[in-house]
Structure 1
Amino acid sequence: MSPTEKTLHWAVDKWLAPTPAMPARVVRFCRTQMHRRCVCVEAARPGGLLSIFFFRHDDGSWNVFPPAQARPAMSAWRTA
């Protein structure tokens, strides 16, 4: 695993800090239109349920923000 790669388990631990008394569970898997994966994880909190979506990036890491979309680009070549 590269230093920049973050597993889903790591991201859930960071954002939701589940414990045996307040576990986290995956409640939904989905794929976006661009075939990107996302997972909704919820955890019980004293104030109620907390749900967060995690998005899989091209480098294999999981983050709470979706990956940037590929945008059209223009280039020019000089010919000699």
Structure 2
Amino acid sequence: MKGTNEQSLRFQVEKWLAPGSTAAVRVVEFSRTISGRRRYVCVESAQPAGLRALFFFRHDDGCWRVFPPPVPRMIAGCLAL
């Protein structure tokens, strides 16, 4: 089981973008997906090699991840993921 800290957006930004103490990190976009109305955030980090940006998606378990959650769909009258 993941700790609460590992679920946070801050933890994921530090893990994936590894900003140093001098690197600027900023949210450049936040909204909801068209399908499923799931929250997402685009975070940008200034690196010596240039800008790096990643999208983070909020999952049903409260975790932020770099991949979107599955979209529920109907199969033969049943809801499937």
TM-score by length of 2: 0.80
Structure with the bigger RCO (C-alpha within 8 Å, sep 6+) is 1
As a proportion of its length, which structure holds more helix? 2
User: 2: CA distance between counterparts of 1:71 and 1:4?
Assistant: 30
Once the two structures are superposed, residues 47-76 of structure 1 have per-residue CA deviations (whole angstroms, 9 ceiling, x without a partner) of 11001000000100000000001121347x
CA RMSD for the aligned pairs? 1.8
User: 2: CA distance between counterparts of 1:46 and 1:3?
Assistant: 32
As a proportion of its length, which structure holds more strand? 2
Say how many residue pairs are matched.
74
| Counterpart for residue 21 of structure 2 | 20
Which consecutive unaligned segments of at least 5 residues does structure 1 have?
76-80
| Counterpart for residue 8 of structure 2 | 7
The percentage of counterpart residues that share the same residue type is: 50
Question: In the alignment, which of 44, 51, 54 is matched to residue 52 of structure 1?
Answer: 54
Q: For the pair shown, which has the larger CA radius of gyration, 1 or 2?
A: 1
TM-score by length of 1: 0.81
